[in-house]
Amino acid sequence: MDSAPVPSVELRVMTFNVEWGGALISFDNVVAAIQQSGADIVGIQEAEGNLFRIADALGWYADESNYLLSRFPVYAVPGAEGRYSWVEVVPGFGVAVANVHLPSDPYGPDAVRDGAAAAEVLELERTTRLPAIQRHLAALQPLVDSNVPIFVTGDFNAPSHEDWIDATVASRKFLRFPLAWPVSLAMQEAGFTDSWRAFYPDPLAHPGLTWWARRPPLAAYAPGNNDAEDRIDFVWSANTESVQDSVIVGERGRSDVSIGLAPWPSDHRAVVSHFRLQPAVLPPLASTDKRVYRTDEEILIHAFSPETAVLSLHSAEGRLLEKWPLRGHGSKRQFAADFEPGRYQVHLAKNQNDVSPPYEFWILDTDAPATITTDEKTYISGESIAVSWQNAPGLRNDYVAAYKSDVATDYDNGLAWAYTGARPHGMLRLDEEHTSWGWPLPAGRFVIRLVQDDGYEALAESTPFDVVSLVASIANDITTYDDGRRSLQSLFAAYQLLLDVGWQLDVIARSEPDGVAAPLPIIALRSPVEGAAIWVLAGIHGEEPAGPNAIAAGIPQLAALGKVHPVVLLPLLNPHGYARNWRYLNMPHYDESIDGMSVGDSSHLLQDPERPGLTRASVANAEADAITRYVLGMAKRYPPRLSLDLHEDNLIDAGYVYSQGERGSGDKLAARAVTVLRQHGIAIKMDGQTRFAETISAGIVGPVADSSIDELMSADAVLIDGERRRGPRAETVLVFETPARALSLPQRVSAHLALLQEIADNFNVFNE
């Protein structure tokens, strides 16, 4: 095939949020708006399953992986996860197009309207919309660098930094100060040009407002004068020659609308920009026209290769089902009914060594209903919810969302939600990391619904489940060993108070060792501020109650500390051990014949000194696995500078302090801890050896290899599946082993509480 360059071409590219599928006011006018605009390529937002309906009305091509409509053939890109597609504008030559719909809530201009400061709004953008656009930019960067013409259309739900400038302040309602909106800056820094502002450089003369449009009101939703009008719909381009024109399509009769219709069918106006460009050579591509077929549908495989290649169809397991030679363009039709329901792959390979990513699609039974389930019937508020679904449409914007069990699926009632990743079958977790809205769920009764394509059509609903408070999660019939220690209910009630001052609760695991009546949560609490942190651990061994009780007594001090320093608190790592006064999960009582299993074991992550590349042992138990995974994950957000682990020992008469960090026995904080313990009546062994034959110097034991979580906290590196990865690398890790036999519990609690207070007060002083 001739690969010589072709002359420049002209394209009209449109972005159009059609609002809830485009059918609420006038579907015909959605189609008419596209026709009258003269657009060649359209990025659709809020298609809600109607993309092919619009394409059929236009007689155009469609790519539902990217919500694109095109006069020209369009190819989904294997391995791109819907981040962009290729449109073949001239035989053998094309452009890349990405289409985005960034998160709408919480909305930055609303925050400005409601009085938020600039710094607050910027933080909101950096945590909601910026990560979403960065995923697309990462996929597009190689194309930008290769000089491929690229368009990014979308409802960005964020204004432009070129619009919010000194000259425009107060030019319209709620534009109160200049603001460098992060998403538009990220687009510009990645090499993209805002087509509207390129053609109309003056934001005062041509504001180009796209939201909100004055369409007929709807009972469910009608934007009004308290909603900030702004320009949030964009056509961005890279590697194009010039912008010839840019116009707005919207309500008839509006002065800044170039193409008007009545009634206007959406709450957004559309933008159409006219470009001249040099298309790029089309790469080898193969995909299907849909990602999910029912068994009563026909599969269309379409492909292009500038060189001789083989187009093949495989099962997900890699079994070859069909193959065809290909050079240039080709298409194949298959009846879905000829194959078993499941996942399939289309390959396009020049030779046997070609490992280009395959394009995946699914076949589902015609009558198979969508289903959705959760992994538990009761959750603690803040606990991760595992959600599994089957037989979803597999559209990019299908999502799962939590609703109170007695309310409708609509805009106002939804809580925590997450996209399904366009998977017909799958599992995800609703938690703080994967949701940006409505988390954590409050106490109450809820369901999870599978909802189609950014809309409000619920395809399936889970069995109702309950969300309860931390204290309410502790069964009333679980008793606590009675030696004066607080009950489990009392401990958790104290820890729960931190939630009232903005701390975040994480449920690390549910501990349910053999012989117990009910699971108990292993929890962590984090201060609102992230960064280099103080970590506090306690309750690893159940017969060491002073630490968990000291933390419960010191909640006011910890709350105050959390306002100044980032803090991660793991206050009761072995709740069942605490309740029954013994340390090991598999040993309800002392028995020398049984090898004890500690929740504080980290040997499965630490290098075996005698076997390079191998860990010291396999994971000891599910609790230890969950705790260490949590430590490694959270250490990225709260990197530990200081870690304190509160222990006791019934078998010693004088205590000592382990110093596991890089400062070892010379750590000033360790020396101060020894002084504080002695001042509070705790006998300290100043020299000699521990009962494990470790050397004590001035009451301090230098770093030891004991496979504990404390060694993990100080580790430079860990081994995960044989791969060396960065460890938490805490500068100072102090482990307090205080004698318990001769002292009352109140004395021990008082000493541990004094330790926490003293080290917190002097942390910065000793770390200068």
> Angle at CA 704, nearest 5°, toward 700 and 708?
110
Average pLDDT of the residues of the chain = 91
| Predicted local confidence at residue 592, as pLDDT | 60
| Predicted local confidence at residue 564, as pLDDT | 86
Integer CA distances (angstroms), 759 to 531, 671, 719, 764, in order:
18, 11, 31, 9
| Predicted local confidence at residue 583, as pLDDT | 84
Name the pairing type of β-strands 533-538 and 640-649: parallel
Integer CA distances (angstroms), 28 to 25, 72, 409, 664, in order:
9, 22, 26, 74
Q: Which tens digit of pLDDT belongs to each residue from 508-556?
A: 999 988 777 788 999 999 999 889 999 999 999 999 999 999 999 999 9
- How far is the C-alpha of 459 from the C-alpha of 292, rounded, in Å? 15
Structure tokens at 123: 């933080």
Cis peptide before 106 (omega within 30 of 0): yes
Structure tokens at 316: 């997900």
Q: Which tens digit of pLDDT belongs to each residue from 418-458?
A: 999 889 999 999 998 888 678 899 999 999 999 998 888 89
| Predicted local confidence at residue 375, as pLDDT | 93
Q: Which tens digit of pLDDT belongs to each residue from 601-649?
A: 999 999 888 888 888 888 888 999 999 999 999 999 999 999 999 999 9
Q: Which tens digit of pLDDT belongs to each residue from 283-319?
A: 999 999 888 999 999 999 999 998 899 999 999 888 9
- How far is the C-alpha of 374 from the C-alpha of 387, rounded, in Å? 5
Residue range 35-63: mean pLDDT, rounded: 95
| Predicted local confidence at residue 763, as pLDDT | 65
Q: Is residue 352 predicted with pLDDT exceeding 80?
A: no
| Predicted local confidence at residue 588, as pLDDT | 66
Backbone region of residue 89 per phi and psi (left: phi > 0; alpha: psi in -120 to 50; beta: other values): alpha
Percent with pLDDT over 70 in the chain: 97
Q: Is the dihedral of CA 253, 258, 264, 267 positive or negative?
A: negative
| Predicted local confidence at residue 5, as pLDDT | 65
Quick one: pLDDT band at residue 4, thresholds 50, 70, 90?
A: low
- How far is the C-alpha of 443 from the C-alpha of 176, rounded, in Å? 38
- How far is the C-alpha of 137 from the C-alpha of 153, rounded, in Å? 13
- How far is the C-alpha of 553 from the C-alpha of 200, rounded, in Å? 63
Q: Which residue has the higher pLDDT, 479 or 13?
A: 13
| Predicted local confidence at residue 517, as pLDDT | 74
**In terms of C-beta density within 10 A (0-12 exposed, 13-18 middle, 19 or more buried), how is residue 483 classed?**
exposed
Do the beta carbons of residue 245 and residue 274 sit within 8 Å? yes
The SS3 call for residue 202 is coil
Q: Which tens digit of pLDDT belongs to each residue from 222-279?
A: 888 889 899 999 999 999 988 999 999 999 999 999 999 999 999 999 999 999 999 9
Give the closest residue to 196 by CA, choosing from 153, 245, 148, 154: 245
Name the pairing type of β-strands 285-288 and 520-526: unpaired
Query: Could you write out the DSSP letters of every residue in 418-472?
Result: EE-TT-SSEEEEESTTT-SSS-S--SEEEEEEEE-TTSS-EEEEPPPEEEE-TGG
Which residue, chain included where needed, has tokens 């069964």?
475
Query: Could you write out the DSSP letters of every residue in 61-125?
Result: EEETTTTEEESS-EEE-TTSTTS-EEEEEETTEEEEEEEEE---SS-HHHHHHTT--HHHHHHHH
Contacts of 712 (CB under 8 A, 6+ apart): 602, 605, 606, 628, 631, 718, 727, 728
Structure tokens at 476: 């009333």
Residue range 164-178: mean pLDDT, rounded: 94
Q: Is residue 666 predicted with pLDDT exceeding 50?
A: yes
Give the closest residue to 186 by CA, choosing from 246, 107, 126, 124: 126
Quick one: pLDDT band at residue 1, thresholds 50, 70, 90?
A: very low
CA 494 to chain CA mean position, Å: 30
Q: Which residue has the higher pLDDT, 495 or 587?
A: 495
| Predicted local confidence at residue 767, as pLDDT | 55
DSSP, res 739:
E
| Predicted local confidence at residue 435, as pLDDT | 85
Which residue, chain included where needed, has tokens 């395809």?
459
| Predicted local confidence at residue 410, as pLDDT | 82
Do the beta carbons of residue 745 and residue 546 sit within 8 Å? yes
Do the beta carbons of residue 578 and residue 599 sit within 8 Å? no
| Predicted local confidence at residue 768, as pLDDT | 52
Phi, psi of 410 (to 5 degrees): -155, -175
| Predicted local confidence at residue 764, as pLDDT | 65
